[in-house]
Amino acid sequence: MMALLVGTTLSYLLRKVKDLRCLTPKRHRVKEKWAATRAKHPPTSLALQHFDATYSVQLGQLWPSVRTALLSERKYGALLNHFSYDANLEDLQAQGCRDFITDTDTQAQLCSEQEPEVGFQEESNGVSVRKSDVVDQQLSPLHLSPNIKCLVFPRGNITRFKPARPDMCGFLGYYLMDAASVLPCLALDVQEGHNVLDLCAAPGGKTLALLQTQVIGFLCVNDASVSRTMRLRKVLHSYVPKQLLTNEKLRITSFDGTKWGEIERNTFDRVLVDVPCTTDRHSLIEDDNNIFSKSRTGERRRLPQLQLELLLAGITAACPGGEILYSTCTLSQNQNQSVVEQAIYLARENHGIQLQVVDLRPLTHMFRKTFHFAPDLHVGEMVIPHLAANFGPIYMCKLRRLT
């Protein structure tokens, strides 16, 4: 009797498992042999090994906490779309969000009006940058566009945003992005009628932030990847009215940005150079398309050279007096400060262009309630991930063309 009961239960369970297998589409079924063929060292582990080796030296005591944050769920910001008709601001505020751009540290505003200390010299990779270029200048007052709004949940609150809804015209109310990615757009400080180039623009988060200012005279949007440029077009069409995407106001191209200086020199008032990099956060969580996979080692090693060429192209595309904002989403000194220092040197030696590093401390002081910034970088500023404010990494450095 007992044996019969066990037999019946077993065959019932087997049938259930079979039914479940039928319900699961074939493409989602896990084959056991996959486990046997899975890479011994997945790219995410290789990335972590690489970061442990380099960032523990670069960041010292800060690395363990930055590492924990990088491996934890990131926070997003909702870049508000002024072209949408819905009351997204009120909705998000009712959920407990605040616009980090208007909710600044007023004490910090006072700091930004004070004089900085004077200079010293820094050297890296044999290229010297006069720190006096950075600190001799008066700190320029901040002109933050009143039209860029980015909402975030308070420190320590890890609530996720709901996906944005289309309004009656089909425009989405907000764009979810790392809130720290808005900082390079604020730092770029676009003004009425400016001619602006976004050299590596896809998928378009920063382009959207720049368009929110509603002051740009003409915007050139470029990305070397054709498929990513198509994604960028889709993003723009989901957020921006057609009349602002006409040929008189905006041009979208898919050129190799390193060649831009050969096409258009001394032209733009503002240039954003948001380069491809090791995308540290992505490299730690996603094995697909990971820059640390063995097959992409060469590409990864060539990144600093590509970044340097892109930054130099951006510098030559800017007009004298124009400003260039270099940004990445990596903590790597080789991809950040070293690239900037070499670009300053080569711009002077090869193109006769003198550059000044613009001090971004007023900006970091202002937003220190929202982001954690790396202390004591010799050029540029960097948002470092922190468990209570898990944004970044974002590195940015602003250069002004003197000649």
User: Using CA atoms, how far apart are residues 108 and 302, in angstroms rounded to an integer?
Assistant: 39
Output 70 or 224, the one with its CB closest to ligand SAM: 224
Which helix (DSSP H) or strand (DSSP E) does residue 282 occupy?
helix 280-285
**Do the Cβ atoms of 66 and 55 come closer than 8 Å?**
yes
Smallest separation, CB 222 to ligand SAM (Å): 6
- The dihedral formed by the CA atoms of 231, 79, 379 and 339, expressed in degrees to the nearest 10: 0
Smallest separation, CB 293 to ligand SAM (Å): 17
277 is catalytic: no
Smallest separation, CB 164 to ligand SAM (Å): 16
User: Using CA atoms, how far apart are residues 317 and 262, in angstroms rounded to an integer?
Assistant: 9
User: Using CA atoms, how far apart are residues 76 and 88, in angstroms rounded to an integer?
Assistant: 16
User: Using CA atoms, how far apart are residues 274 and 251, in angstroms rounded to an integer?
Assistant: 18
User: Using CA atoms, how far apart are residues 333 and 340, in angstroms rounded to an integer?
Assistant: 10
Output 145 or 222, the one with its CB closest to ligand SAM: 222
Main-chain dihedrals φ then ψ at residue 375, nearest 5 degrees: -80, 150
Q: Which residue in 283, 280, 277, 278 sits closest to 44, CA to CA?
A: 283
Smallest separation, CB 86 to ligand SAM (Å): 23
Alpha-helix runs per DSSP H in 62-216: 63-70, 88-94, 106-112, 131-135, 182-188, 205-212
Report the relative pairing of strands 174-177 and 150-152 from DSSP bridges: unpaired
Output 129 or 220, the one with its CB closest to ligand SAM: 220
Tokens in use for 182? 């808005």
Q: Which residues bind ligand SAM (CB under 6 A)?
A: 181, 199-206, 222-225, 228, 256-258, 274, 276
Q: How far is CA 31 from CA 21, 215, 219, in A?
A: 12, 55, 49
Output 44 or 181, the one with its CB closest to ligand SAM: 181
Output 195 or 328, the one with its CB closest to ligand SAM: 328
Output 86 or 280, the one with its CB closest to ligand SAM: 280
Q: Which residue is nearest to ligand SAM (CB)?
A: 257
Is residue 138 classed as helix, strand or coil in its secondary structure? Answer: coil
Alpha-helix runs per DSSP H in 318-381: 337-351, 361-366
Q: How far is CA 4 from CA 1, 7, 8, 10, 11, in A?
A: 5, 5, 6, 10, 11
Output 129 or 202, the one with its CB closest to ligand SAM: 202
User: Using CA atoms, how far apart are residues 239 and 206, in angstroms rounded to an integer?
Assistant: 13
Which value, in Å, is the radius of gyration of the alpha carbons in the chain?
Answer: 24
- Catalytic site residue from 185, 200, 277, 329: 329
Output 112 or 327, the one with its CB closest to ligand SAM: 327
Q: Which residues are catalytic?
A: 329
